[in-house]
């Protein structure tokens, strides 16, 4: 009850910020990010667009990948209209396609740019069951597996950039508190919904993908520390906000639910605050493997904190990429670590 009251009041936590803080407010002390190159997925609308706008306003060079080049160009135009000196590169990327991810990374490397910041923000809530071209349930493929591959292919560049520039690299995975709604075996459920439409539940599939983001953060942080890399990775819950994620289910019931929950909803500038805080604030130097909400560190679900399950999903992800999802599901449903 006390936490709810603090949320509604926007009370500042240990970071000095709270639920009512905006992305601009949390980056005020980072007014010069001209030395920073950032990739932000899902930056054509909603929270991602606001994250991109604020980082561009602070001087960062941005790479904006998107499925729709028109949407990316429109997003770029909106930012440039406010920040004429901003440097923004738009590129094609479909996170649900591993081939598209690989092509994007090769294109990015060909530009010869450094990479200090990777924000894995793009998200999809698939109300109807769908399978990616790689044979994986679409929400999981887009929200997690595409970002997993993207991050793994870019980590080397981030490590090199950090070593060459002395600036610590940061990876931010945008998850959701909904990750706590998933219970059970993640890999078994993924195998089930990737093979059989009858078992698909849109909300549970979305919760699974967001739990996977939490697992990814935990295991990647362990691996980066083991490497001695000057790169951190953290996970964020942006808060409840009405964005294009709900665009497929507009109507009276949705409108009523959001009206009743309006006191809990954040504005988009407020929802982008935690991402921008974790991506830029000096207070988070050397902080890695943590979960943040309302610009303050908090706890994941009990399952989300399970290191064994995080390592198991990582192994499953590598199998899915190297051997195909069917072989991975068959082998890893019963694999113990």
Q: What is the mean predicted confidence (pLDDT) over 64-86?
A: 97
Angle between helices 46-57 and 69-82 (to 10 degrees): 40
Tokens 């064994």, residue located = 308
Question: What average pLDDT does the segment 129-152 reach?
Answer: 96
How many percent of the chain have pLDDT more than 70? 87
SS3 88: strand
Query: How far is the C-alpha of 255 from the C-alpha of 260, rounded, in Å?
Result: 9
Whole-number CA gyration radius for the chain: 19
How far is residue 31 from each of residues 15, 212, 328, measured CA to CA in Å?
18, 33, 46
Looking at the DSSP assignment, which residues form a beta bridge with residue 237? 293
pTM for this structure? 0.91
Nearest to 208 by CA among 290, 316, 297, 134: 316
Query: Angle at CA 66, nearest 5°, toward 207 and 120?
Result: 45
Report the CATH superfamily, name and number, of domain 15-331: NAD(P)-binding Rossmann-like Domain (3.40.50.720)
Q: Residues 301, 218: contact at Cβ < 8 Å? A: no
311-335: average pLDDT: 79
Least confident of 270-274, 287-291, 303-307, 330-334: 330-334
- Does the annotation mark 291 as catalytic? no
Query: Which residue in the list 7, 144, 189, 200 is annotated as catalytic?
Result: 200
Q: In the chain, where are the structural domains located?
A: 15-331
Average pLDDT over residues 187-214: 94
pLDDT at 7 over 70: no
Please, which pLDDT band fits residue 265 given cuts at 50, 70 and 90?
confident
Distances in whole angstroms, Cα of residue 257 to Cα of each of 34, 245, 263, 265 = 42, 15, 11, 11
Distance between CA atoms of residues 319 and 324, nearest Å:
7
54 close to 271: Cβ distance less than 8 angstroms: no
d(C-alpha 122, C-alpha 56), whole Å: 18
pLDDT bucket at 332, cuts 50 / 70 / 90: low
Q: Is the pLDDT of residue 260 over 60?
A: no
Where does the pLDDT of residue 8 fall: very low under 50, low under 70, confident under 90, or very high at 90 and above? very low
Burial (0-12, 13-18, 19+ Cβ within 10 Å), 61: buried
**Comparing 24-33, 267-276, 310-319, which segment has the lowest mean pLDDT?**
24-33
Q: CA 313 to CA 335: how far, in whole Å?
A: 11
Average pLDDT, the chain: 90
């Amino acid at each position: 009850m006390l936490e709810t009251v603090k949320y509604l009041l926007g009370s500042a936590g240990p970071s000095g910020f709270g639920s009512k803080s905006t992305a601009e407010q949390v980056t005020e002390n980072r007014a010069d990010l001209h030395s920073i190159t950032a990739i932000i997925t899902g930056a054509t609308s909603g929270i991602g667009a606001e994250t991109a706008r604020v980082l561009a306003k602070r001087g960062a060079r941005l790479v904006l990948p998107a499925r729709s080049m028109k949407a990316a160009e429109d997003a770029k135009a909106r930012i440039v209209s406010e920040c004429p000196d901003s440097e923004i590169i738009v590129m094609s990327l479909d996170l649900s396609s591993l081939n598209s991810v690989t092509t994007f990374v090769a294109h990015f490397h060909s530009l010869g740019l450094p990479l200090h910041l990777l924000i894995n923000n793009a998200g999809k809530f698939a109300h109807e069951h769908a399978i990616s071209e790689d044979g994986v349930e679409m929400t999981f493929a887009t929200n997690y597996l595409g970002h997993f591959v993207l991050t793994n292919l870019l980590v080397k560049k981030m490590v090199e950039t950090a070593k060459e520039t002395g600036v610590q690299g940061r990876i931010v995975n945008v998850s959701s508190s909904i990750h706590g709604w998933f219970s059970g075996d993640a890999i078994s459920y993924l195998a089930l919904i990737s093979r059989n439409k009858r078992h698909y539940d849109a909300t549970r599939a979305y919760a699974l993908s967001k739990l996977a983001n939490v697992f990814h953060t935990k295991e990647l942080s362990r691996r980066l520390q083991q490497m001695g890399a000057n790169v951190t990775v953290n996970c964020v819950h942006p808060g409840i906000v009405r964005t294009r994620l709900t665009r497929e289910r507009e109507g009276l019931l949705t409108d009523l639910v959001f009206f009743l929950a309006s006191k809990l909803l954040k504005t988009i500038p407020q929802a982008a605050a935690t991402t921008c805080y974790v991506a830029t604030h000096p207070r988070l130097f050397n902080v890695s493997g943590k979960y943040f909400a309302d610009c303050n560190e908090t706890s994941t679900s009990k399952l989300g904190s399970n290191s064994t399950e995080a390592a198991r999903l990582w192994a499953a992800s590598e199998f899915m990429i190297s051997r195909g999802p069917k072989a991975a599901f068959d082998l890893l449903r019963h694999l113990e670590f």
